[in-house]
Structure 1
Amino acid sequence: MNLVLQGPAASMPELRRIATLALPARMLELNPHALRCEQVDDSNGVRQAVELAALEARVDATFIDAARTLADYRLVAMDMDSTLITIECIDEIADMQGLKPQVADITEAAMRGEIEFAESLTRRVALLAGLDASALQRVYDERLHISMGGEAMLAGVKGAGLKTLLVSGGFTFFTERLQERLGLDYTHANVLEVEHGKLTGRVVGGIVDAVGKMQTVERVCADMGIDPEQAIVIGDGANDLKMMGIAGLSVAFRAKPVVRQQANIALNFTGLDGLLAILG
């Protein structure tokens, strides 16, 4: 097993101090804030000690099979809101109506798994009825930002020959623009209904919920002629768990506790490009 330690504010001496807890045979500095430790002790007691020390230092600690590399995978599938981008688009749209607190509360409950996603989306979208559709462009132009390390991660996986999928319980207005902007291969999301230039408060067609996300990953894998085991799936909320569960590697990014607990990898402090350090 290898251990990868990384943190945007971590010093190399600090990383080396944590690394010694795992008794590595070798240590390799990947960049000024990332260290790979080879042939480590990954017993439960050591893992717990390393993870506790890493958490206190705001460092991500990942134990991973030394043989795993990006070459083992063919697809990276990502959630959009609070994963590839820093915002929840529906919350920011609601802010244009002065309804952000009400909508954000529902969003949070859904991401924690306390409300079924389809129900939560229906309730949130209904609150947007009557809003001028131009608000969507304002959110994209003024508030949407790519998460830390997102563009570097995409460049790295594309360079390694992987395809990319953005699958979202959000809206096609944003996924389509991000697809063009970032050169993504596949996207799938919900369609907001617009009549006479205003949002109706309804979604057109079926809702992309947890099952819909999983089925999208399965469909894209089938189209590519690969097994879902050859996919990496990145998400942050409870509605990502089903698609993460079928993947060969699941990554929790700035995720809710229920997601961190079930993912293979958790990036709590590092950017999305932390995936590249882990998989070489």
Structure 2
Amino acid sequence: MNLVIQSPEPIADSHVKPLTALARAKRIDRDAAGHVLRLTDAEPLQRADIDAYCGTHRLDYAFIDPSLRLADFGLVAMDMDSTLITIECIDEIADFCGLKNEVAAITEASMRGEIKDFNESLTRRVALLKGLDASALDRVYEERLRLSPGAETMLAGARAAGMKTLLVSGGFTFFTEKLKARLGLDFTRANTLEIVDGKLTGKVVGEIVNAEVKARTLRETCAQLGIDPSRAIAMGDGSNDLKMMAAAGLSVAFRAKPVVREAASLALNFVGLDGVLRLF
């Protein structure tokens, strides 16, 4: 396997020899900027040692089949909150009715997998928003929503490789549709907040986008594109992304909860979303 080591900062020369030894690699190459090391013929059985070393030194690593190319994939599927963007939208909406801490605690427990029923978790949180003026959604988008580091570079690279893009979220269509238009995304799927007379009713309209729906959406989108799900890359951070990630050929845990990092093909804990492009 190739072992790809990445860092937001130039990787110090002092890491080259220990990483080569730990990985039992035959050759090591460095990119021009010094942010990426690529070790060829690395031993995947050394993963535990590599994980410990990289965790200590704040380096991201991934074992990648050297025959893989980005163009081998046809779809990149992304979670929205805390993946494509840096915030949890529902927590920020709740801040406008003084309930951010309460809602954020439920969100965190749900993403860690401590609340098993996502539908119940979402229903409880949305109910707390009842009566809030819908203009709060605009304020969250304009004042608080920020793209994750490397998001636009990653999307441009995916498009250049011929891939389609899917944003599938347990969040809300208000935000996914704005991001679709802004970023030129091909497909989106999310929950619809009910709004009556300019105020949130505290309810979601239609089917809730939970873990099963996320996985189904990925499979249906692949079918629509005429590709096997093994040709999809799925990116997420929370437990409700696990089934979607399991359905894909390559899964990327981005700034993710421990349960997601353990299940994913690889984790990006320090570099941006564009770290995906440098794997191949």
TM-score by length of 2: 0.96
Unaligned runs of 5+ in 1: none
Say which SS state the counterpart of residue 273 (structure 2) adopts.
Answer: coil
Counterpart-to-counterpart distance in 2, 1:72 and 1:128: 43
Provide, for residues 149-168 of structure 1, a one-character-per-residue CA deviation record: whole Å limited to 9, x for no partner.
Answer: 11111111111000000000
Looking at structure 2, the residues matched to 189 and 54 of structure 1 have their Cα atoms a distance apart, in angstroms, of 35
Superposition map of 1:89-168 within 5 A:
89-115=89-115, 116-168=117-169
CA-atom RMSD, angstroms?
Answer: 1.1
Q: Which residue of 1 aligns with 2:264?
A: 263
Instruction: Tell me if the contact between 1:12 and 1:33 (Cα under 8 Å) persists in the aligned partners.
Output: no
In 1, Cα distance between the equivalents of 2:212 and 2:49?
36
Matches within 5 A, 1:47-126: 47-115=47-115, 116-126=117-127
- Deviation track 1:68-118 (CA, whole Å, cap 9, x = no partner) reads 121221000000000000000000000001100000000011101111111
| Aligned mates of 1:47, 1:251 — CA distance in 2 | 16
CA distance in 1, matches of 2:37, 2:157: 18
Structure 2 counterpart of 1:148, one-letter code:
P
- Aligned residue for 1:67, secondary structure, equals coil
Give aligned-pair identity as a percent.
Answer: 61
Residues 209/16 of structure 1: CA separation in 2 closer, same or farther (3 Å cut): same
1:5–1:34 CA contact under 8 A, matched in 2: yes
Mark the runs of 5 or more structure 2 residues left unpaired by the alignment.
none
Structure 1 residue 18: deviation in Å?
4.2
Partner of 1:36: 38
How big is the shift at 1:32? 2.1
Q: Write the distance in 2 (CA, Å) between the matches of 1:181 and 1:14.
A: 42
TM-score, normalised to structure 1's length?
Answer: 0.96
Work out the CA distance in 1 between the residues paired with 2:96 and 2:162. 40
For 1:40, the aligned partner's letter is A
Letter in 2 for 1:87: I
